[in-house]
């Protein structure tokens, strides 16, 4: 899974029926900085759209699951989903010597 | 899922039978810029070919699903598909402080 | 799916039995240049090996499908395949303003 | 699979029920350096969150499996998992001439 | 699939039971250079760990399959595997004009 922050949302009236009822949130993938916070990856910006499974809000740090695992976890058979928010981060502590 | 813009289409007469009848659109993957619009990712151009599931047109911003989830959502058993357009973006709002 | 060009082939006598009988072609992944042609991605060279499902030849521009969708489309149960050529490009037209 | 080092952990009280009981560890993906040790990849930092399947601890070098294979190996049906630690490295020896 | 060279191996006594009995080899992913040989990709080093399905040895150029296709081809149900060596390269010939 990846760490990221909810930074916005997508509204799409015309979409696959199996996405109806799902909140589509924009997550910016981030890296742990070693001080307990998350920050931009040195590899440049990386955004994804994920269905929200746990009631995440804008500004919250989250755990995102990608690929067919995300589709299966949504509970919707054959869902056109490859990204899901599956946890809201309380803490993401990393050994500072292991960053950079 | 990813955000992108439909920028063209592919014509392929000789193709897997299970792709027949599917519109094959070229999508340029883009990042939210914080002003409601989408723009090129700092990581360089990134194009993909996706089957169109929602009637998207050239120039429209879309949501694309990748991998086996895309194949399953196409409804075609064992489809040789790993990219599908599953939504047309009305708005993709991102907190401007979270971009850059 | 991705766009690319068949640039060579791989011969491998010692291989998984389920690959026997499949042509293993080397595809260079390319990006649409806006003039109807395909060209190298700014992100550097990117080659893959794909089984040929549609009779593609060296020098032909093709559509490649990746991941488990490629395995399933090969018709070989549990095939050790994660890349398949599923179409031969007649045209890949992109709005020139959307490139660069 | 990839090689990496356990560098921290994630606490997430609000998460998908199917993650409850799983240790969520932060792994920094690393490359073999040719001297028996692992070091940062030249391509920049790369962190992932993985469920721990083998009792790995902070500072240990590990093997991580990604994608739906990770979900299936967790034993949890339809688990929202796309990363799992599946081995703890005793040694990762690489021919020094093959590095750099 | 990808082309690469076996450059080392991983010993991991504490690992998922379903990996027991599998040789875990370190493969450096490489690109065809147009002279029949393989060389480092311009995008920087890229190593993976793969189970050996065809008896490959250190220094041999190989074909690797990634993702759930690799797991399925291992024959081990729900195997925590996302990389497998599925062929040993006799030749990987690429049109020199298509490289660079």
Q: For C11-33, how does the pLDDT look when each residue is reduced to its tens digit (9 = 90+)?
A: 999 999 999 999 999 999 999 98
pLDDT at residue E72 is higher than 80? yes
Q: Do C18 and E73 touch (CB under 8 A)?
A: yes
Centre a 10 Å sphere on the Cβ of residue A41 and count the other Cβ atoms it contains: 19
What pLDDT does residue E3 have? 97
Cross-strand partners of B83: B66
Tell which residue, C13, D65, C21, has the closest CA to residue E60: C13
Secondary structure of C43-92 as H, E, C letters: CCCCEEEEEECCCCCCCCEEEEEECHHHHHHCCCCCCCCCEEEEEECCEE
Is residue C34 within 8 Å of B45, Cβ to Cβ?
no
CA distance D69 to D82: 8
Closest partner CB to D12 (pick from A65, A70, A88): A88
Closest partner CB to D73 (pick from E43, E49, E80): E80
What pLDDT does residue D48 have? 96
CA distance E24 to E52: 7
What pLDDT does residue B16 have? 96
Tell which residue, E86, E83, E93, E75, has the closest CA to residue E33: E93
> Which residues on chain B are in Cβ contact (under 8 Å) with C73?
16, 18, 78-80
Which CATH number describes the domain made up of A2-98?
2.40.50.220
Q: Across chain E, what does the average pLDDT equal?
A: 92
Q: Do E99 and C7 touch (CB under 8 A)?
A: yes
CA distance D63 to E82: 11
What pLDDT does residue D44 have? 65
Q: Do C24 and E75 touch (CB under 8 A)?
A: no
Please state, in angstroms and as integers, the Cα–Cα distance from residue E9 to each residue in A34, B26, C10, E18, following that order: 31, 40, 24, 18
Please state, in angstroms and as integers, the Cα–Cα distance from residue E69 to each residue in A47, C70, C85, D79, following that order: 27, 9, 16, 19
Q: How far is E45 from chain C (nearest CA, A)?
A: 13
Question: In which band, very low, low, confident or very high, does the pLDDT at D68 lie, cut at 50, 70 and 90?
Answer: very high
In DSSP notation, D29-70 reads EEEE-SSS-EEE-TT---EEEEEESS---TT-EEEEEETHHH
Tell which residue, E12, E75, E2, E7, has the closest CA to residue E32: E2
What pLDDT does residue C30 have? 93
Q: Do A81 and B91 touch (CB under 8 A)?
A: no
Residue with tokens 């989830």: B69
Residue with tokens 């990389």: E83
Both ends of chain B: CA-CA distance in Å?
Answer: 20
Q: Which residues of B touch C (CB under 8 A)?
A: 5, 7-16, 18-19, 24, 26, 28, 43-50, 58-59, 67-68, 70-71, 78-83
What pLDDT does residue B73 have? 83
Tell which residue, A3, A29, A23, A2, has the closest CA to residue A11: A23
What pLDDT does residue D73 have? 83
What pLDDT does residue D70 have? 94
Centre a 10 Å sphere on the Cβ of residue A13 and count the other Cβ atoms it contains: 9
Residue ranges for chain A with pLDDT beneath 70: 42-44, 100
Is residue C30 within 8 Å of C1, Cβ to Cβ?
no
Tell which residue, C2, C4, C7, C10, has the closest CA to residue C58: C7
CA distance C15 to D42: 32
pLDDT at residue C93 is higher than 80? yes
User: What's the pLDDT tens digit per position in B40-96?
Assistant: 876 667 899 999 999 999 999 999 999 999 998 888 888 999 999 999 999 999 998
> Can you tell me whether residue E68 is helix, strand or coil?
helix
CA geometry: angle A55, A59, A61, nearest 5 deg: 70
Domain ranges of chain A: 2-98
Residue with tokens 């390319």: C30
- Kind of pairing between the strands at E24-32 and E2-11: antiparallel
CA distance E92 to B12: 27
Is residue D64 within 8 Å of D48, Cβ to Cβ?
yes
What pLDDT does residue C83 have? 97
Was domain E2-92 assigned CATH 2.60.40.10? no
pLDDT at residue E42 is higher than 70? no
What pLDDT does residue B74 have? 87
Q: Do B24 and C63 touch (CB under 8 A)?
A: yes
User: What's the pLDDT tens digit per position in C43-77?
Assistant: 667 899 999 999 999 999 999 999 999 998 888 88
Is residue B18 within 8 Å of C54, Cβ to Cβ?
no
pLDDT at residue B33 is higher than 80? yes
Q: How far is C46 from chain B (nearest CA, A)?
A: 12
Was domain B2-95 assigned CATH 2.40.50.220? yes
């Amino acid at each position: 899974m990846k760490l990221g922050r909810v930074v916005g949302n997508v509204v799409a009236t015309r979409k696959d029926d199996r996405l109806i009822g799902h909140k589509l949130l924009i997550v910016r993938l981030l890296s742990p900085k070693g001080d307990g916070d998350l920050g931009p990856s040195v590899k440049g910006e990386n955004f994804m759209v994920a269905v929200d499974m746990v009631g995440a809000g804008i500004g919250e740090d989250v755990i995102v699951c990608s690929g067919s695992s995300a589709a299966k976890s949504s509970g919707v058979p054959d869902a056109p989903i490859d990204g899901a928010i599956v946890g809201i981060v309380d803490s993401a502590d990393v050994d500072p010597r292991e960053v950079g």
